[in-house]
Chain A
Amino acid sequence: MAGIDYHAPQRDWMDPSVEFKKGSYCYAAPLKNQEQLQLPNPRQWNPQDADWKLPPDYKRIILDGMKDRLEKYRSWKLFLDICVRCGACADKCHYYIGSGDPKNMPIMRAELLRSVYRRYFTIGGRLWGKLAGARELDEQVIKEWYYYFYQCSECRRCSVFCPYGIDTCEITMLGRELLNLVGCSTEWVVSPASNSFRTGNHVGIPPHAMKQSLESAQDDIKTITGIEVDVPINKKGAEILFVTPSGDFFASPAWYTLMGYMMLFHEIGLDYTFSTYASEGGDFGLFHSAELAKSLNAKIYAEAERLKVKWVLGGECGHMWRVIHQYMDTFNGPPSFLEQPVSPITGTRFDNARSTKMVHICEFTADLIYNGKLKLDRGRNDKWKVTFHDSCNPARSMGLLEEPRYVIKHICNYFYEMPENTIRERTFCCGSGAGLGSDENMEMRLRGGYPRANAVQYVKEKHGVNVLACICAIDKASFPPLLEYWVPGVETAGVHELLGNALIMQGEKPRETDLRGEPLTNTSSEGGGQDV
């Protein structure tokens, strides 16, 4: 993969051309999932085929779809119009940095769509055609869209640098909606969404299996701490509904984060419940269409109302928090049946969540630590030299920057930041977000994750960093293979896994291992290490 070529071709980009390179594109959605979600133009198809079996009037469908969205989204209309092509965004995209493919420059991703917009919706484009950067909509253009709109992880990094705030995420999201109108969606978006629709979570775990899974976490916690924590499921009248991405229920290392939550909730005596119906915080509908995003998201409020909880607490996840922070209340609110979130332990009122009534676990935990409600032994994390990866959505769509850092500094003695151009609002995506995390797309994922891995390598060499802490389930799934490829020897951990290690529980037996069952290499010293 070495030797990325950043030279732009001499030929221009107006003639659509795309090669579906193995390892760099996502498979088509299976027919049964298309049917279950009642998607348009359901059929069996393959992006490698010459004939995509588009509907005969696909042009009209797409152009009507564009017109409709131009009327519905100011962002889209504006962003199609005002780009000055200054190029500031060009080298900000991790897929461009990792692949050198000029159409992965954010501006080019947008131009693929703008060129069609100009041809059919602007005077200049109608009059001057290609000279005005306008081109006909044809099947090749659609194939190009499919390839490149599924090489964008909707991370919004380019929008930080754009002088007009043009957000490629808006371009990609609506571009994917247009593709969906003619039946072109990917398996790794539609299958999890379809699972989530039916079973309540992306991985398709039925309720009884979810219970088993939580009980195994309970067993593991007992083995490590000697304490039997509660596993409240679908408990009516609980004070708080806890929603987390379903990756936490079965996938390592997200699993250890789940253990961390359960230990924390037990220790503070939180009256909470999991839900099997709303067993997914993430929302792959966001990577498909506003309708599907809304449909999947609706379960959280519906379940909160059914279980008569007071408010909702959300686990570590990236795009889940994009949806909750920026969309949920608008989609499915107002949740008049809920109360303004108040921490039952500290009494803190979460004014920032007074309308949506959902609090981020890092906000919740930071508040507990600040108020001295947790006994923590940082020394138990001494084998970890920690760096923190800001997940795209909490950073750039929420501004959740200090809370996780505050928590980490109180549970770890060794914390080192990556270079400032690669963290906080300038953080780099893991390369697998927005529904791109499929195995068949591995080459593109490794390329897209390269800038992040590169920054990890920097702190590894400089400070001996050996764990990347993060607050996103997709991170937890995608970093292990990514780091193994680029920076072997660096592990991935959720912030609440590290919290679980450090948390001193009442009546616990002396810890011999961390949550992974690995020995604590350094013996703990009470509250050890330097002050933060």
Chain B
Amino acid sequence: MRQVMKIIWPLIAVIALVLVAVISVTVPASQPVFGVIIPYLAITAFIAGFIYRVVRWANSPVPFNVPTTCGQEESLAWIKSDRIESPTSNWGIFGRLALEILFFRSLFRNSSMGKVNERRLVYGGSRWLWLGGLAFHWSLLIIIIRHLRYFTEPVFPPSIWLSSFDGILQLALPALFISDFIILAAVTYLLIRRLVSERIRYISLASDYLALFLILAIVVSGIFMRSIFKVDLIAVKELAISVITFRPSVPAGIGLPFYIHLLLVCALIIYFPFSKMMHIAGVFLSPTRNSKNDNRSVRHVNPWNRPVRVHTYAEYEDEFRQPMIKAGIPVDTNISAESSDGR
């Protein structure tokens, strides 16, 4: 039952958010709440929460240097070391993190285990998750940059370039964005994968579905408001500019799809710092990926290193001195004569 409820509850939550947004048109007086107050709260919560989480991680030290090495170490001069997968320099770390963050290096390595028969396993390359994840994150980035056009006047140039490139297919008017469809397809894939694969369903939590449902709803509402129930984008931009210049004013008649879209986005960014989505910051801090494999050449200091009980050589020799002497093993303290009386 819980297996089903962890899907149902997040779905209900997202539907409830959509219904709440309806108030914005049924009670027009509430529009400053949806258009101004909630966004301000959301942005504040997002920034504060984000910083809090990163500071909390950063406050814990890295007591041991534990990179996961995925390539040849730097040892003998004539053996070619892998500067990215077993980095020893800042550039190596930069390269490793860049590959990880921009191209999902580790996921690219993914394979899936299959059985040919009872006695034979095979591991095939399995890049769908990599492709789906990459498509999702890159299109999300493009969409966010595109959205900067609503917050900048004159419009932030990369936002214009991306928008014209993104709309290059010139389908319909206004032009449909390629990234919209890629993200829709990618999120749908990620959701279906979670629902269909028995194994992934088993490991999934309600919060995994919540993030997917929220993002899916945001994408769908965004496409709707742009292409189907068109909203007044000039008015939207007026609102956006007024909000970020701290002179909030809500133009009339923006339309429900926008308020749904905005409320969902606010919900997402409020939830963001409390959620797994913080992996965006976490990946930079991951000790197995951002540390140098220079362990034996540069000493790593543990700030809480403290003395422990050890068994010293003297204690050891005290116990074994007689047999050591008998066996002709050198000892530090030769007191065989006085302690051999017990025999």
Contacts and interface: CB of A to CB of B under 8 A. Distances in A.
B71 A366 contact: no
Interface in B126-170: 129, 133
A355 B320 CA distance: 33
- Interface bracket on A: 35 or more
A515 interface: no
Nearest to A76: B60
Interface in B40-64: 53, 56-64
A78 B282 contact: yes
Interface stretch (A40-48, A123-131, A408-416): A123-131
A97 B114 CA distance: 10
Interface stretch (B26-34, B105-113, B225-233, B254-262): B105-113
A290 B276 CA distance: 29
- DSSP class of A's interface residues: helix, strand, loop or mixed? helix
A403 B203 contact: no
A3 B86 CA distance: 38
Contacts of A6: 199
Contact of B85 (A2, A132, A277, A425): A425
B60 A74 contact: yes
A322 B129 CA distance: 31
Interface in A390-410: 395-403, 406
Contacts of B197: 87
Contacts of A356: 295-297, 299
A255 B200 CA distance: 46
A234 B199 CA distance: 55
Contacts of A333: 299
B323 A302 contact: no
A521 interface: no
B288 A8 contact: no
Interface in B73-92: 73-76, 78-82, 85-86
Interface string A54-78: 0000000000000000111111111
B178 to A, nearest CB: 25
A334 B326 CA distance: 35
A172 to B, nearest CB: 13
A403 B75 contact: yes
B247 interface: no
Contact of B202 (A12, A128, A207, A352): A12
Nearest to B332: A306
A236 B332 CA distance: 10
A235 interface: yes
Interface in B273-315: 274, 276, 278-279, 282-283, 285-289, 293-302, 304-305, 308-313
A133 B95 CA distance: 35
Given A160-B70, A208-B323, A74 B123 contact: no
A329 interface: yes
Contacts of B107: 86, 88, 161, 163
Contact of B78 (A77, A298, A370): A370
Contacts of A132: 205-207
A232 B49 CA distance: 62
A353 B61 contact: no
Given A299-B310, A366-B76, A403-B79, A396 B202 contact: no
Interface string B196-214: 0111111111111000000
Which 6 pairs from chain A and chain B are nearest by CB?
A399-B73, A82-B282, A165-B288, A8-B202, A399-B69, A208-B327
Interface of B: 2-3, 5-6, 9, 53, 56-76, 78-82, 85-86, 100, 104, 106-107, 109-113, 118-121, 123, 129, 133, 197-208, 274, 276, 278-279, 282-283, 285-289, 293-302, 304-305, 308-313, 316-317, 319-320, 323-324, 326-330, 332
Interface of A: 2-3, 6-14, 38, 70-78, 81-88, 90-92, 97, 102, 105, 107-108, 111, 122-124, 128, 130-133, 156, 159-167, 170, 197-200, 206-208, 211-212, 233-236, 276-277, 290-292, 294-295, 298-299, 302-303, 306, 324-327, 329-331, 333-334, 348, 350-356, 358, 363, 366-367, 370, 395-403, 406, 419, 421-422, 425-426, 450-451, 454, 457-458
Given A235-B330, A236-B330, A351-B297, 7 more contacts: A78-B287, A92-B113, A105-B203, A159-B68, A167-B66, A329-B296, A399-B293
